[in-house]
């Protein structure tokens, strides 16, 4: 964040008023830095217009890698031992597909967990500067940033929308 930028937190008592403020903030030059909610809120999620998560791509990649790994591991093992039973082929597709399927599930789960960790930017060791304990209880927070010149306008905007104000000054 540039040196002449200030962050102001609007603390709302209702989900609807926070979502309304988010909708209105998108039409201003101010940027929304972060939103806090005590509950999973589809109303706020819709107001933020967040992009679709990329975790599913990690899951898909893990599943594909898992299938190939499982199938190739079974085929490699069968070709190394060359146990031919009853004239059947050494690389039999149906049993190897079963092993591939099991590895698909295993690696898809690994991919999903890695995707979740990387996309959520976990772990976070630093505390968030504007976090208020009330966001874990009954309040909603919208953190917006603006230039120092627009500080009063953003503060007035939050107050007009029914929010308490918290700045990085305290």
The predicted-structure confidence for 140-160, as pLDDT tens digits, reads as follows 999 999 998 999 999 999 999
To 5 degrees, how large is the angle CA 81–CA 83–CA 89?
A: 115
Architecture of domain 5-52+126-167: 2-Layer Sandwich (3.30)
- Residues 164 and 170: their CA atoms lie apart, in Å, by 12
For residue 78, the Cα-to-chain-centroid distance in whole angstroms is: 42
Strand-pairing partners, residue 11, are 141, 164
pLDDT in tens, 4-42: 889 999 999 999 999 999 999 999 999 999 999 999 999
Q: Which two tokens stand for residue 130?
A: 């504007």
Per-position DSSP letters for 62-82, written without gaps between them: HHHHHHHHHHHHHHHHHHHH-
Residue 129 has pLDDT above 80, yes or no: no
What residues contact residue 127 under an 8 Å CB cut-off, 6+ apart? none
Residue 2 in this model has a pLDDT that exceeds 80:
no
Whether the Cβ atoms of residue 34 and residue 128 lie closer than 8 Å to each other: yes
Pick from 138, 135, 133, 111: nearest CA to 55: 111
CATH 3.30.70 intervals, the chain:
5-52+126-167
Q: What is the helix (H) or strand (E) element at residue 44, kind and residue range?
A: helix 42-48
Residue 170 has pLDDT above 60, yes or no: no
pLDDT digits (tens, 9 = 90+) for 52-106: 999 999 999 999 999 999 999 999 998 898 777 787 888 889 999 999 999 999 9
Whose CA is closest to 160, among 30, 12, 54? 12
């Amino acid at each position: 964040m540039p040196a002449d930028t200030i962050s102001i937190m609007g603390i709302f008592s209702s989900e609807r008023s926070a979502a309304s403020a988010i909708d209105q903030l998108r039409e201003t030059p101010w940027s929304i830095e972060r939103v806090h909610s005590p509950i999973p809120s589809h109303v706020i999620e819709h107001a933020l217009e967040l992009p679709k998560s990329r975790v599913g791509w990690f899951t898909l990649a893990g599943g594909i890698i898992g299938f190939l790994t499982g199938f190739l591991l079974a085929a490699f093992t069968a070709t190394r031992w060359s146990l031919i039973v009853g004239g059947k082929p050494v690389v039999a597709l149906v049993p190897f597909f079963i092993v591939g399927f099991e590895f698909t599930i295993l690696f898809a789960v690994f991919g999903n967990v890695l995707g979740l960790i990387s996309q959520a930017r976990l772990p976070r060791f630093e505390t968030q500067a504007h976090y208020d304990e009330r966001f874990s209880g009954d309040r909603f927070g919208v953190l917006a940033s603006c230039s120092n010149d627009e500080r009063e306008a953003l503060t007035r905007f939050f107050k007009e929308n029914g929010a308490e104000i918290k700045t990085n000054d305290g």
